[in-house]
Amino acid sequence: MSMLKPLRDFTERDRVFDMVNPALRSPKLDVSHGTVLYLEDISVSFDGFRALNDLTLYIQAGELRCIIGPNGAGKTTMMDVITGKTRPDTGSAFFGQTIDLLRLSEPDIAQAGIGRKFQSPTVFEQHTVFENLELSMAGPRGVWAMLYARLNAEQREKIDSVLELTGLQDLRFALAGSLSHGQKQWLEIGMLLMQEPALLLVDEPVAGMTPQETERTAELLVSLAGERSVVVVEHDMEFVRSIARTVTVLHEGSVLAEGSMDQVQSNPKVVEVYLGEQV
Amino acid sequence: MTLQDHSAISRVMRSDRGIKWFVGLLLAAAVLLPLGHLLFPPESSLHVSTYTLGLVGKYMTYALLAVSIDLIWGYCGILSLGHTAFFALGGYAMGMYLMRQIGTRGVYGDPLLPDFMVFLNWDSLPWYWHGFDMFWFAAVMVVLAPGLLALVFGWFAFQSRVVGVYFSIITQALTFALLLAFFRNEMGFGGNNGLTDFKELLGFDLQASSTRVGLYVTSALALLAGVLVCRWIVASRFGRIIAAIRDSESRTRFIGYRVEHYKLWLFCFSAMLAGIAGALYVPQVGIINPGEFAPINSIEAVVWVAVGGRGTLYGAVVGAILVNYAKSYFTMAWPEAWLYALGVLFVLVTLFLPKGVLGLLQRFKRAES
Ligand SMILES: Nc1ncnc2c1ncn2[C@@H]1O[C@H](COP(=O)(O)OP(=O)(O)OP(=O)(O)O)[C@@H](O)[C@H]1O
Ligand SMILES: [Mg+2]
């Protein structure tokens, strides 16, 4: 009987097929309602363990949102869902009003305008710093175009400015694999900037950075918000306090509290979850 | 030097001396061996025999196959253990053309049907043999047949994200399946015996020494062109993307590249290159049979690349020539030992020379300076 299931799908008269509803390959991002990301009732389980549990979260366009939560709260898993790495069991995820993230592949999502910095820095170690930025640069991604691609003056300037911003100008021809942990963090932030995404997902950006670098990162992220939307996951509470307007606390896969840093910190549920940890 | 030069060519520059040497040596070999054959009488010690020309020409086609493997393995991390399937398909396409050229000179003298078909009592030419009387058609099939197979096979494999050792295993299965299929007489490719007894190519007698010289020079030039085109590919931004895929496939996806498309394009291109190598191989050895599909051949070709040093292209050429020279020697002196020698060679290279012979040379040079 189970073999008939796919057939039954075809006989349902009220069903609209994907092929009729062309998957919006690169539809324009529509944030006319002021919300750039809609996550609704998202659940993800790994072997019965619920990493995300009916998670509902909205991000406003131009917002800088900080997400905190104890280890294993599901912060990284949430980013995996948004970027197409993990498919949720239930729920919906929209980028603006029109782009259904659950129907797009990872590269489609990236091209639609969502950029991501990973928790542990992941750069192309066998490529130079310059090449890492070049490959991340916004623009066409087709095979034939890349065979003939040449950097024009404007693009070179763009790379130069990002090199300067990330303090890596002197290391442009160094292999990315030879960088220190903090430098790799910067390079990955630079790669994110090169992509010029509308929504930046930044997972633990300041781990391994010196206090001065942390401060610079804070400035950078604050300056990006407004034109772009930024979601930052961080354990460093000082850092979060210095940049956050709105903080969301995740716990066991769903939202525990949301509000300003002060509101969140005085919330008894949050205090309980963080018992023993300093908030 | 502009920034662009740095970004695009920095990697090429580092080994640019190598490529210049390679081009120089290959051109010299393309010119000097035929001169040695044509200018000096057979008694002279400087005379190059047709046998030697054929042997070196054969090595050149092997080298081109090795380059096609290095392009996907060394630069994109795709280890194909079935690449001689594409080589053999190119070879069969050429073989079919050569069979049709035999005409009435066959044993049975049938103007249309190759001997083996007459022998099997077939009364007409199978549909897929039509067109092969024209060289241009055969030449198109030399790249189209391997290319299409790679397209279909690669599409399924890459779309299902089959990677690493699993991919290698299914490529072995692919070439093994083709081996079994081509062994069957009903397939219409001469079964066990394959295609042989060729007479002429484009009107040139295949036994004539001038034809041998022509084939040799064509092989050398094809190898040169193959290396340079691959070089151009890996030095482009496309080349940097496939290297990024090799090092971190998922990261490449997250910055917006459709990894499957890149792999598929590269795999098809590589298969076509292997097909061209096979097409040049067949008229020089005078036969193509299902044995070329044997899985061990594909593994051998990968060993050539490993021995030479992968990720340089000309390393693959050096490896193919060295190993095949050793093989020619071994199979004369001590035939049973060859497979063992090959296995030992592979283990030794993997353990002690991860960058192959070229890596060893580079290490010596660095130690000197
Ligand atoms: N691929 C996976 N397979 C099985 N379990 C997983 C997988 N990915 C995540 N998990 C589990 O899901 C839970 C949530 O993990 P996640 O990485 O999202 O937490 P996090 O909030 O990012 O934590 P941290 O602050 O430590 O980075 C964890 O218990 C983790 O072990
Ligand atoms: Mg995490």
Quick: pLDDT tens for A5-61: 556 655 666 655 555 555 545 568 888 888 899 999 999 999 989 999 999 999 999
**Which atom of ligand 1 lies closest to the CA of A52?**
14
pLDDT tier at B63, thresholds 50, 70, 90:
very high
- Asked if residue A193 lies in contact with residue A162, where contact means CB atoms within 8 angstroms, the answer is yes
pLDDT tier at A176, thresholds 50, 70, 90:
very high
Residue numbers in B near A148 (CB within 8 A): 236
Helix or strand holding residue A49 (H, E): strand A49-60
- Contact yes or no for B237 and A149 at CB 8 A: yes
User: Would you say how long chain A is, in residues?
Assistant: 279
- One DSSP character per residue, B6-35 reads HHHHHHHHHTHHHHHHHHHHHHHHHHHHHH
- Asked if residue A228 lies in contact with residue A37, where contact means CB atoms within 8 angstroms, the answer is no
Domain A33-278, classified CATH 3.30.70.20, yes or no:
no
B235-to-A113, B238, B257, B261, B294 alpha-carbon distances in Å: 28, 8, 18, 19, 33
Q: How far is B155 from chain A (nearest CA, A)?
A: 15
Sort A211 into a burial class: Cβ within 10 Å, 0-12 / 13-18 / 19+: exposed
Ligand minimally distant from the alpha carbon of residue A71:
1
B344-to-A22, A136, B106 alpha-carbon distances in Å: 55, 43, 44
Measure CB to CB from residue A141 to each of B7, B233, B256 and give the nearest one. B256
Q: What percent of chain B has pLDDT over 90?
A: 59
Q: How far is B259 from chain A (nearest CA, A)?
A: 8
Q: For residue B197, is pLDDT > 70?
A: yes
Q: Which of A135, A210, A217, A131 is nearest to A176 (CA)?
A: A131
Q: Which of B202, B196, B232 is nearest to B218 (CA)?
A: B202
- Which SS3 state, helix, strand or coil, does residue A206 take? coil
User: What's the gap in Å between A83 CA and the centre of ligand 2?
Assistant: 14
pLDDT tier at B4, thresholds 50, 70, 90:
very low
**Which atom of ligand 1 lies closest to the CA of A44?**
12
Helix or strand holding residue A135 (H, E): helix A129-136
Neighbours of A209 (CB within 10 A): 19
**Which atom of ligand 1 lies closest to the CA of A78?**
18
pLDDT tier at A249, thresholds 50, 70, 90:
very high
Q: pLDDT for B228-265, tens place per residue?
A: 999 999 999 999 999 999 999 999 999 999 999 999 99
- Asked if residue B279 lies in contact with residue B288, where contact means CB atoms within 8 angstroms, the answer is no
Residue numbers in B near A151 (CB within 8 A): 3-4, 7
User: What's the gap in Å between A72 CA and the centre of ligand 1?
Assistant: 5
pLDDT tier at B44, thresholds 50, 70, 90:
confident
Which one has a higher pLDDT value, B347 or B89? Answer: B89
Q: Which of A42, A45, A46 to mutate to test the pocket of ligand 1 (most atoms within 8 A of CB)?
A: A46
Check CB contact of A175 with chain B, cutoff 8 Å: no
Neighbours of B197 (CB within 10 A): 16
pLDDT at site B5? 43
Report CA Rg, chain B. Answer: 21
- Which SS3 state, helix, strand or coil, does residue A81 take? helix
Residue numbers in A near B237 (CB within 8 A): 134-135, 146-147, 149
Residue numbers in B near A149 (CB within 8 A): 236-238
> How do strand A246-251 and strand A90-95 relate by DSSP bridges?
unpaired
Residue numbers in B near A117 (CB within 8 A): none
Check CB contact of B241 with chain A, cutoff 8 Å: yes
pLDDT at site B13? 42
pLDDT at site B205? 86
Tell me how far apart the alpha carbons of residues A85 and A78 are, in angstroms, rounded to a whole number. Answer: 10
Measure CB to CB from residue B236 to each of A125, A127, A149 and give the nearest one. A149
- Contact yes or no for B253 and A107 at CB 8 A: yes
> How do strand B204-205 and strand B200-201 relate by DSSP bridges?
antiparallel
A2 lines ligand 1 (CB under 6 A): no
Neighbours of B365 (CB within 10 A): 10
Helix or strand holding residue B324 (H, E): helix B314-333
- Asked if residue A95 lies in contact with residue A113, where contact means CB atoms within 8 angstroms, the answer is yes
User: Would you say how long chain B is, in residues?
Assistant: 369
Which chain A residue lies closest to B248 (C-alpha atoms)? Answer: A124
Phi-psi region of A165 (alpha: psi -120 to 50; beta: other; left: phi over 0): alpha
Tell me how far apart the alpha carbons of residues A110 and B250 are, in angstroms, rounded to a whole number. Answer: 12
pLDDT at site A235? 86
- Contact yes or no for B238 and A195 at CB 8 A: no
Tell me how far apart the alpha carbons of residues A225 and A227 are, in angstroms, rounded to a whole number. Answer: 6
Which chain A residue lies closest to B256 (C-alpha atoms)? Answer: A107
**A127 token code pair:** 């490529």
**In this structure, which residue's CA is closest to atom 24 in ligand 1?**
A71
Sort B231 into a burial class: Cβ within 10 Å, 0-12 / 13-18 / 19+: buried
- Asked if residue B201 lies in contact with residue B283, where contact means CB atoms within 8 angstroms, the answer is yes
Tell me how far apart the alpha carbons of residues B32 and B30 are, in angstroms, rounded to a whole number. Answer: 6
Looking up tokens 């004539």 gives B208
For residues B105-119, give the mean pLDDT: 85
Q: State the pTM of this model.
A: 0.90
Measure CB to CB from residue B7 to each of A134, A143, A195 and give the nearest one. A134
pLDDT at site A19? 52
Check CB contact of A148 with chain B, cutoff 8 Å: yes
Helix or strand holding residue A79 (H, E): helix A75-82
DSSP E strand stretches across A47-156: 49-60, 64-68, 90-95, 99-100, 114-117
Which chain B residue lies closest to A192 (C-alpha atoms)? Answer: B255
Q: How far is A138 from chain B (nearest CA, A)?
A: 9
B327-362 burial, b for 16+ CB within 10 Å, e for fewer? beebeeeeeeebeeebeebbeebeeebebbbbbeeb
Tell me how far apart the alpha carbons of residues B113 and A44 are, in angstroms, rounded to a whole number. Answer: 64
Residue numbers in B near A125 (CB within 8 A): 247
For residues B92-120, give the mean pLDDT: 88
Tell me how far apart the alpha carbons of residues B13 and A172 are, in angstroms, rounded to a whole number. Answer: 16
Amino acid A55 reads: L
Residue numbers in B near A106 (CB within 8 A): 250, 253-254
- Contact yes or no for A105 and B253 at CB 8 A: yes
Chain-centroid distance of CA B290 in Å reads 16
**A155 token code pair:** 């693009």
Amino acid B98 reads: L
Looking up tokens 């990894």 gives B259
Looking up tokens 């940049």 gives A243
A53 lines ligand 1 (CB under 6 A): no
B209-to-A265, B49, B101, B212, B302 alpha-carbon distances in Å: 90, 9, 19, 5, 32
CA B117-B123-B127 angle, to 5 degrees, is 80
A259 lines ligand 1 (CB under 6 A): no
- Asked if residue A89 lies in contact with residue A102, where contact means CB atoms within 8 angstroms, the answer is no
A73 lines ligand 1 (CB under 6 A): yes
- Asked if residue B283 lies in contact with residue B89, where contact means CB atoms within 8 angstroms, the answer is no
Phi-psi region of A26 (alpha: psi -120 to 50; beta: other; left: phi over 0): beta
Which chain B residue lies closest to A121 (C-alpha atoms)? Answer: B251
Tell me how far apart the alpha carbons of residues B353 and B346 are, in angstroms, rounded to a whole number. Answer: 10
The ipTM (two decimal places) reads 0.85
**A237 token code pair:** 């509470």
Residue numbers in A near B255 (CB within 8 A): 110, 115, 135-136, 191, 195
- Asked if residue B76 lies in contact with residue B243, where contact means CB atoms within 8 angstroms, the answer is yes
Tell me how far apart the alpha carbons of residues B76 and B14 are, in angstroms, rounded to a whole number. Answer: 19
Q: Which of A67, A68, A76 to mutate to test the pocket of ligand 1 (most atoms within 8 A of CB)?
A: A76
- Contact yes or no for B256 and A130 at CB 8 A: no
Q: Which of A42, A47, A77 to mutate to test the pocket of ligand 1 (most atoms within 8 A of CB)?
A: A77
Measure CB to CB from residue A156 to each of B3, B237, B257 and give the nearest one. B3
- Which SS3 state, helix, strand or coil, does residue A42 take? strand
For residues B150-171, give the mean pLDDT: 94
